[in-house]
Amino acid sequence: MSKWIGDAMESLLASRMPVMTVTDTQYINPSLKQIRFSGDLSNMHFEPGYAVVIRVSDIEHRNYTPTFYDTERGTMEIMFHIHGDAPGSNYIAALDVNDTLKISMPRGKKVYREPEKPQLLFGDETCLGVAFSLYPLWLGSGREFRFVFELDDANRDLPDRLGLTNYSVIPKKFGAENETLLTRLPIFENDTWRNWHNGNFILIGNAASVRNFRNVLKKRDVPGKSILMQAYWAEGKTGL
Ligand SMILES: Cc1cc2nc3c(=O)[nH]c(=O)nc-3n(C[C@H](O)[C@H](O)[C@H](O)COP(=O)(O)OP(=O)(O)OC[C@H]3O[C@@H](n4cnc5c(N)ncnc54)[C@H](O)[C@@H]3O)c2cc1C
């Protein structure tokens, strides 16, 4: 998108794009930055898993998922994966207290659904925020739930640092190696699988891993309606 189209859209949608001020930033570790924002969120409707768009340069926009929101107090938090030298990553790394930015209306897929069924969330560092916002809801439901994270070695302790439980961590691998790791997950063991077969599966993060997990589930006859997929990024593509 060219700069002038970005500018024009922002002024057309001004009333629907609140200006948020950074009030706090915290590095959970060098590749996960949590930022708290403050602004007028009174017209915004949030759901767990809904994402907002942030303009990260004159011509680029990226999606990020608020982990916490309080529309009355006008506060919101997001966990950002600082993954390397790219427009979004660099912009977020540079954000500091008192900086301002605009956010779009939150929108997306509803990840909190049918809590009476076993729930599994699979994803990488980009989905830790979604896990963090689902955790209290799933814990409160008293039903079975599990997180499966594929993380860089340096990030293996992030779920623990965030206070999450009920999780497995697998290393990041590609292709057949990734699929093999997924098929070895404890939920697929015979007795356990009898229960999990009727579960809901939320697969987000790296597009290739999401596809691999879906293939593993399909081979086990999990119906499509029980699988919610959303690629958050794909190797070699920019700004999904
Ligand atoms: C609905 C939705 C919600 C999202 N929520 C979040 C969120 O809450 N927190 C969050 O951190 N991200 C989130 N993402 C992912 C984030 O938008 C992407 O990672 C985005 O590509 C980052 O932009 P960038 O400019 O840093 O990299 P880009 O310029 O988009 O990508 C450059 C290259 O970097 C690589 N790359 C991109 N992202 C990653 C990554 N995470 N890890 C490793 N390599 C990568 C790819 O090979 C890509 O070709 C979300 C995405 C979507 C679609």
CATH class as words, domain 3-102: mainly beta
Residue 191 — very low, low, confident or very high, per pLDDT cuts 50/70/90?
confident
How far apart CA 77 and CA 126 sit, in angstroms, is: 14
139 Cα distance to chain centroid:
18
Phi, psi of 219 (to 5 degrees): -65, -20
CA distances from 59 to 7, 20, 103, 194 (A): 9, 19, 15, 49
Residue 174 — very low, low, confident or very high, per pLDDT cuts 50/70/90?
confident
pLDDT tens digits, one per residue of 53-89: 999 998 899 999 999 999 999 999 999 999 999 999 9
Q: Where does ligand 1 bind, in terms of residues with CB under 6 Å? A: 51, 62-65, 78-81, 83, 86-89, 108, 126, 129, 230, 232-233, 235-240
How far apart CA 52 and CA 101 sit, in angstroms, is: 12
pLDDT tens digits, one per residue of 3-59: 776 666 666 666 678 999 999 999 999 999 999 999 999 999 999 999 999 999 988
Output the pLDDT for position 209.
96
Which ligand 1 atom is at minimum distance from the Cα of 238? 30
Ligand 1 pocket, mutate which of 36, 83, 127, 237 (most atoms under 8 A from CB): 83
How far apart CA 32 and CA 73 sit, in angstroms, is: 25
Architecture of the domain made up of 119-233? 3-Layer(aba) Sandwich (3.40)
Domain regions of the chain by residue span: 3-102, 119-233
**Cα 233 to middle of ligand 1, angstroms:** 5
